């Protein structure tokens, strides 16, 4: 039996809420769903249409927070890892693994990059788009 419970979002702390929001919108193509202001933090919720969300959180309570290089990885299926890697670089951020196939993952193209706070962003070419491209190429051949 399938549980009615599910993960809807993952929250990550960010040093600069506006900069991180721009990154997730402009580089990763996410859409801002809503913003929240509570007594101890401001949040921005972003997602790809109909998918799980990322909540960017910036604490406003004056407490000391470590926003930099936390051991967190966000994994995204994307249609074109190379194009997004180029956007990461254009934003002045680091690509730590250029897009290339990984045989142990069935030849999926994988790229690793960093967001403005040093979180690892893993870009995996969406298998559905890979299969569609192969089918399209075979049909035109």
| Catalytic site positions | 122
Burial class of residue 1 (count of CB atoms within 10 Å of its CB; 0-12, 13-18, 19+): exposed
Burial class (CB in 10 A: 0-12, 13-18, 19+), 23: buried
Contacts of 97 (CB under 8 A, 6+ apart): 110, 111, 112
Q: Please report how many Cα atoms fall inside a 13 Å half-sphere around the Cα of residue 74, on the Cβ side.
A: 23
């Amino acid at each position: 039996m399938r549980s009615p419970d599910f993960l809807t979002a993952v929250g990550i702390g960010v040093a600069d809420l506006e900069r991180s929001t721009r990154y997730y919108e402009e580089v990763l193509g996410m859409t801002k769903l809503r913003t929240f202001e509570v007594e101890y933090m401001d949040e921005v919720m972003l997602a790809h249409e109909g998918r799980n969300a990322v909540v960017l959180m910036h604490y406003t309570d004056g407490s000391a927070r470590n926003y930099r290089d936390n051991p967190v990885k966000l994994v995204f299926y994307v249609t074109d890892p190379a194009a997004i890697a180029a956007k990461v670089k254009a934003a002045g951020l680091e690509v730590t693994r250029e897009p290339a196939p990984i045989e142990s993952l069935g030849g999926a193209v994988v790229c690793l990059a960093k967001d403005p706070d040093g979180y690892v962003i893993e870009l995996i070419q969406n298998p559905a788009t890979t299969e569609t491209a192969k089918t399209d190429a075979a049909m035109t051949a």
